[in-house]
Amino acid sequence: IPDFMMKLRAQDGIGAIALEFAILTAARTSEVIGATWAEISLEQRTWTIPAGRMKAGHEHQVPLAMSAVELLRRMEHLRTGDVVFPGQSKSGYLSNMALLAVLKRMKRSDVTAHGFRSSFRDWVSECTDYPREVAEMALAHSIGNAVEAAYRRGDLFGKRRALMALWAKYC
Share of the chain above pLDDT 90, in %: 79
Residue 60, beta-bridge partner list: 49
**40-50 confidence digits (pLDDT tens):** 999 999 999 99
Residue 62, beta-bridge partner list: 47
Q: Is 140 exposed, middle or buried (0-12, 13-18, 19+ CB in 10 A)?
A: buried
**83-113 confidence digits (pLDDT tens):** 999 998 778 899 989 999 999 999 999 999 9
Q: What does each C-alpha distance from 41 to 20, 64, 68, 74, 157 come to in angstroms?
A: 18, 9, 12, 15, 15
**115-165 confidence digits (pLDDT tens):** 999 999 999 999 999 999 999 999 986 655 554 444 455 579 999 999 999
Give me the active site residues, please. 28, 55, 114, 117, 141, 151
